Structure 1
Amino acid sequence: MKYSIENEHFRVEVEEVGAELCSILSKSSQREYIWQADPSIWGSSAPVLFPNIGALKGGSYTFEGQRYQLPKHGIIRHNPNVKLINRSPSRLSFSLSHSEETMKVFPFPFDFKINFLLMDNRLQVFHEIVNIGKDPMYFAIGGHPAFNLLWKKGETIRDYFLEFQDRETAGISLLTNDGLLKKTETPCLKDTNRLALTETLFDKDALIFTELNSSEVSIKSKKNKHQIKLNYADFPFLGIWSKPGAPYVCIEPWDGLPDYEDSTQEWLAKMGNIKLKAGNTHYASYQIQILEH
């Protein structure tokens, strides 16, 4: 079931299964800014990533001598047990708590909430993860929103680019065929704030930035003045991805990483994992702002 919030500018829809953002529709232009999950290309719109991001080596990890299996991107995505817990004209809140089922794959008691708050032309996606156990909890959290491109007729993917808040000199970590992070970085940005989008940019899968100075990136076109800004100040890592040649781009704020190719598969040693003390709450939000001119 889909739930909606709206104001005079936009209507936003979120699918209860997986608490997945599935629409940001402009009322003035009738333009849809979220990828509509075409299953022939990529059948998602904005998966929520928890308690792992991307792939685990061998699809599993070890904790306290026990081996556990976790799917790519974790247990929120596609999960029918996520439930709407609060709704107002401008806000939707969803929740998932630990259960016998989750403890079989992620042996930590938790309470997970995600909130969608629409304010003017901005949508804030706000995560709250509570460790309700007696010991520290280790996890990752991230977003995976996919934004439509080709906002106007006659445009191509090559008319679009990403503009970072600051000039950057940064390499990227690429993925192996198994979805694991390679240990060596590949040069990408050199004293620039712009990354051009092309049909072949993602031929080797996602571009993963682990050392950006910027906390905001915008999607822009050379042929019109519209833009989508995404602020990810609460997240230290950023993934950028699309199916090669597809008319969308994912801007993925991550608080955690996929396994490296040389991972020991030990959960406590997993690079990027957050350590949350018993009884504490981890907060992380990102904000989408749409500017139509």
Structure 2
Amino acid sequence: MKNTLSSKELKVTVDTFGAEMHSVKKSGIEYIWQADPEFWGRHAPVLFPIVGKLKNGEYTYDDKTYTMGGHGFARDNEFQLVKHTGDELIYELKNSDETLEHYPFKFTFQVSYKLTANKIRVRYTVKNEDEKIMKFGVGAHPAFNVPLKNGEFENYSLTISPVEERTFIPLNGAAGTLKVSESETVADYKKHLTHELFAGDALVYSSSPKTEVTLANNLDEHSVKVSWENMPYFGLWSPYPKEAGFVCIEPWYGLADDDATDGDLSTKFGINSLEAGKEFNCEFTIEFN
């Protein structure tokens, strides 16, 4: 079921399936990728309880092996709408017999969309409903149309702020896993878009305590800015060799498996821990111009 939020500047549509944002329109322009299955059949999936892919699609926990698809199962589950006001939507997913077959923790996971003028604040809340420490990852995967209005893909660029050195972690594109041992310090702060930029799959970086990534062009004033604090990683992605008309800006609290992982969820690179009965929150903001 689709729900909407509206301000004087934006109209936002979110689906209860996956708690996924489907549309953001401003002045007649659609900013969100419309899920053409020829290229990528999603809009802005929510990633939980892992980010990225597991090596061989599986992991172990407490001497038991579990399987899980890339980016977790939240994006393929129906959420319950628990709040709908004039400016906010809150969706909730709880553990079930089916989730426990793939993920051995009891949880409540909420996704909130709050609209103010030309900005959307997205907040993730993870509650550990279990009696043991919970291991998890959570993140975003919004896809933005390129071009937004004028020009071509190559007229756009991604600008990362602040301008400083950060860690780049290359991906093993064939497996979807990270090559952590080949990480390097880079001074990347502006990436001019070409489809070949993503020939090695997503570009994965460490975040600064406060990070902004702006998608803009050299022809008009239309842009998207994604900003966050204390989400330790982010990815930039567009499919290759397909020449799709979108790029994803993805703040993450978690990562794909390292190539060298032993498969144990407890020691997974980038995994997070949450004590029994405790709650975790993180958020990011998308500004549409």
TM-score by length of structure 2 reads: 0.95
Q: Distance in 2 between matches of 1:186 and 1:259?
A: 14
Matched residue, 2:216? 220
Output the aligned Cα RMSD: 1.5
> Is the contact between residue 164 and residue 214 of structure 1 (CA under 8 Å) also seen in structure 2?
no
Q: Distance in 2 between matches of 1:213 and 1:93?
A: 26
Q: Distance in 1 between matches of 2:186 and 2:262?
A: 30
Percent of aligned pairs sharing the same letter: 34
Q: Which stretches of structure 1, 4 residues or more, deviate above 2 A after TM superposition?
A: 168-172, 183-190, 210-214
2:146 paired with 1:149: yes
Pairing of 1:91-130 with structure 2 (within 5 A): 91-130=88-127
Opposite residue 215 of structure 1, the aligned amino acid is T
Opposite residue 174 of structure 1, the aligned amino acid is P
Opposite residue 238 of structure 1, the aligned amino acid is F
Pairing of 1:35-50 with structure 2 (within 5 A): 35-50=33-48
Gapped runs of 5+ residues in structure 2?
none
Shift of 1:166: 1.4
2:135 paired with 1:138: yes
> Is the contact between residue 178 and residue 256 of structure 2 (CA under 8 Å) also seen in structure 1?
yes
Post-superposition Cα deviations, 1:131-154, rounded to whole Å, max 9, x if no partner, equal 11111101000000001111233x
The counterpart of 1:68, out of the listed 47, 53, 66, is 66
Q: 3-state DSSP class of the match of 2:162?
A: strand
> Is the contact between residue 55 and residue 261 of structure 2 (CA under 8 Å) also seen in structure 1?
yes
How many residues are paired up?
Answer: 286
> Is the contact between residue 111 and residue 132 of structure 1 (CA under 8 Å) also seen in structure 2?
yes
The counterpart of 1:260, out of the listed 221, 238, 258, is 258
Shift of 1:85: 1.3
Gapped runs of 5+ residues in structure 1?
none
> Is the contact between residue 175 and residue 205 of structure 1 (CA under 8 Å) also seen in structure 2?
yes
Matched residue, 2:192? 196
> Is the contact between residue 208 and residue 230 of structure 2 (CA under 8 Å) also seen in structure 1?
no
Shift of 1:213: 6.1
> Is the contact between residue 228 and residue 284 of structure 2 (CA under 8 Å) also seen in structure 1?
yes
Q: Distance in 1 between matches of 2:120 and 2:68?
A: 30
> Is the contact between residue 209 and residue 230 of structure 2 (CA under 8 Å) also seen in structure 1?
no
Q: Distance in 1 between matches of 2:155 and 2:186?
A: 19
2:56 paired with 1:58: yes
> Is the contact between residue 234 and residue 286 of structure 1 (CA under 8 Å) also seen in structure 2?
no
> Is the contact between residue 171 and residue 185 of structure 1 (CA under 8 Å) also seen in structure 2?
no
